């Protein structure tokens, strides 16, 4: 999920000019269960990218407790060929709901699970998600689609709580047919740090 250019010496030993390595375990974002939409952006406007991850699947049939339960059931069949315990199996299926995750980034590639502190404690069945500054105040808000319930719209309160938080909005205008200028790379130098965004079809990254 999280990728980083690795050390020059390692690159040399691997005989490649540009290598990437999976550091999800190192960064603390490797285990978010049944995940769908990872959205990388600086949600708390501290200059470090954070990661939102929508999560979960309905009636997860491969939940280990459930697998253990059904594997212990007798394999009897009624006259019509149906298993006699099908209804019980359906009743015992786990709901699958769990909270979405959001990880706060830092300067050392470590991420802290801030899901509960930042307001994502509600169990849902979320899949697709998108971010945008819906109210135009400078911080990025989030929208999730939630199975069997209304969409989730999450207002980001960073600017309300810390009005001094800085942000920069850039509107891209490309030539036809790429009017959104997909593929643009933006580099910003500020306070001795380099920040980078790539405009892609799945959002900035």
* Residues making contact with Ca ion (CB under 5 A): 42, 44, 46, 48, 50, 133, 135, 137, 139, 141, 156, 159
Q: Which is nearer to Ca ion, 97 or 129 (CB)?
A: 129
CB of 132 to Ca ion, least distance (A): 8
Q: Are strands 193-200 and 185-190 parallel, antiparallel or unpaired?
A: antiparallel
CB of 114 to Ca ion, least distance (A): 10
Q: Which is nearer to Ca ion, 37 or 50 (CB)?
A: 50
Distance, CA of 41 to CA of 167 (rounded, Å): 12
- Picking from 113, 108, 104, 121, the residue whose alpha carbon sits closest to that of residue 31 is 113
CB of 192 to Ca ion, least distance (A): 17
CB of 122 to Ca ion, least distance (A): 19
What DSSP character marks residue 167?
-
Pair of tokens at residue 150: 């209304």
Does the CA dihedral 151-156-157-163 come out positive or negative?
negative
Does the CA dihedral 46-47-49-54 come out positive or negative?
positive
Q: Which is nearer to Ca ion, 52 or 98 (CB)?
A: 52
Q: Which is nearer to Ca ion, 48 or 195 (CB)?
A: 48
Q: How distant is the alpha carbon of residue 88 from its chain centre?
A: 34
Q: How far apart are the first and last CA of the chain?
A: 12
CB of 120 to Ca ion, least distance (A): 15
Q: Which is nearer to Ca ion, 46 or 113 (CB)?
A: 46
CB of 184 to Ca ion, least distance (A): 22
In 63-109, beta strands by DSSP E:
101-105
Q: Which is nearer to Ca ion, 57 or 141 (CB)?
A: 141
């Amino acid at each position: 999920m999280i990728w980083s250019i690795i050390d020059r010496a390692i690159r040399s030993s691997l005989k490649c000019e540009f290598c990437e390595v999976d550091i999800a375990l190192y960064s603390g974002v490797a285990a978010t269960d049944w995940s769908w939409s990872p959205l990388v952006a600086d949600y708390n406007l501290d200059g470090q990218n954070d990661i939102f991850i929508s999560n979960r699947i309905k009636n997860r049939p491969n939940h280990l407790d459930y697998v253990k339960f059904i594997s212990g059931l007798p394999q009897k069949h009624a006259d019509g060929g149906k298993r006699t315990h099908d209804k019980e199996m359906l009743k015992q299926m786990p709901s699958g709901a769990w909270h979405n995750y959001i990880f706060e980034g830092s300067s050392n590639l470590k991420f802290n699970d801030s899901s509960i502190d930042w307001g994502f404690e509600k169990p849902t069945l979320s899949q697709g998600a998108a971010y945008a500054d819906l109210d135009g105040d400078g911080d990025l808000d989030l929208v999730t689609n939630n199975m069997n319930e209304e969409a989730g719209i999450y207002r980001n309160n960073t600017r309300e709580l810390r009005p001094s938080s800085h942000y920069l909005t850039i509107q891209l205008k490309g030539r036809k047919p790429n009017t959104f200028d997909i593929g643009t790379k933006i580099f910003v130098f500020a306070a001795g740090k380099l920040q980078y965004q790539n405009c892609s079809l799945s959002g900035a990254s």
